[in-house]
Amino acid sequence: MIEDTQTEQTSAHPTERAGSKSRRSGCLGFFIDTVETILLALVLFLAINALSARVRVENVSMQPTLKPGEFLLVNRVAYKFGEPSIGDIVVFHAPGASDMDYIKRIVALPGDQVRITDGLVYVNNQPLYEPYIAEAPRYTGTWDVPPDEYFVLGDNRNNSSDSHMWGFVPHDDIVGRALLIYWPLSEVTLLRSPGIVQAVQ
């Protein structure tokens, strides 16, 4: 009888060890899966963040196109493979403040001449057709855009700190091109560049 008892006890030990190993293996597997999921999410976040930015509109300088409180998706690599165009809405580092960003519309490219008079913006003597602005500019002036720099204006022309006040935006200061308004959902809109260089009717 003693031998039988010892045999039963001995045969029970491998089963207990197997169950213990299975539990440990299950816990380890869950931990590994969790770490892999977190790492994958981190890699995706870093990749998306490198390619795009989320920006909140803070002031009225781009009304009526953009309103305070709206959130925009910005393409960071838009100008790595192409050049800015007239009409693009861009985010760039504010002059003299690299920790602050502005958002404006490009109205003239490197080498262009800008003239603003009688409420119209002319680029190389060609008037811009701008149905999106809040009102015609009440200021005047003439600017020659240097190489590798851009002339930008807010759509709310008379309530915007932009190139007519402080000059041009260097290409290297451009963060990216605004692609769309994604919040609030009722305002979701693709931000396409209009054909604004044409004779005013």
DSSP type of residue 133: S
Backbone angles phi, psi at 41, to 5 degrees: -65, -40
Cα distance between residue 163 and residue 86, in whole Å: 14
98 among known catalytic residues? no
25 among known catalytic residues? no
- 80's tokens: 């790595």
Q: Which residue in 11, 98, 104, 163 is the catalytic one? A: 104
Cα distance between residue 140 and residue 2, in whole Å: 110
Q: Which residue in 61, 80, 98, 186 is the catalytic one? A: 61
Cα distance between residue 103 and residue 90, in whole Å: 6
The catalytic residues are 61, 104
